[in-house]
Amino acid sequence: MSLKIALFASGSGSNAENIVRYFANNQHFIFPLIVSNKSDAFVHQRAKNLEIPSVTFAKQQFESGSEIVALLHAYKVDAIVLAGFLLKIPEAILHAFPSKIVNIHPALLPKYGGKGMYGDRVHQAVKAAGENESGITIHYVNEQYDAGNIIFQAKCAVNEGDTVDDIAAKVHDLEYKYFPEVIQTIWG
């Protein structure tokens, strides 16, 4: 039996592409749809290259959630992976997919999470605080930003001379390595 996973992304979609490619020869995991909140996000080009349909919903459509839930049901989606998706998931989607939505955050939650904490903002905060480590957190999604139950964390060193870009590169390496593995572990 296969598991159909919708990927949600707001930006370039490198994590989404990495996940799809990781499971390319695994018939259990199917990615029928990529959803974005930005029509100009590069994830749409990646979706086209991967031959996966992609759609854009405006923020207001996300907030109601009903159109998205209907689309996800039409594609027979079983679970959702947020791969660099920046909008808060509305209750309608949370209720339609209980314990079936996971997110990746580019820091060791509960530190450096919450509304507005994404991308380089997180790495800048880690550097400004003088942290000696950062990493990733993969967690279930609930009604609050970055507050769902933690599934997995991986750490990387933050050295004194590291720039924000250096920290970002280390964190991206962890994302690419572990996100697909964790998806396979929880839903395999």
**Band (180; pLDDT cuts 50, 70, 90):** very high
Residue 47: φ, ψ to 5°: -60, -45
Active site residue 105: yes
Decide: 76 and 4 in contact? Cβ < 8 Å: yes
What's the CA gap between 44 and 49, in Å, rounded? 9
Handedness of CA 21, 22, 26, 30 (dihedral sign): negative
Domains recognised in the chain with CATH numbers: 1-98 (3.40.50.170), 104-178 (3.40.50.170)
Mean pLDDT of 39-54: 98
pLDDT tens digits, residue range 77-132? Answer: 999 999 999 899 999 999 999 999 999 999 999 999 999 999 999 999 999 999 99
pLDDT (0 to 100) of residue 169: 97
What is this structure's pTM? 0.96
Q: What share of the chain is helix, strand, coil (3-state, %, to 5)?
A: 40, 20, 40
Catalytic residue among 28, 44, 73, 105: 105
Question: Cis omega (within 30 of 0) on the bond before 110?
Answer: yes
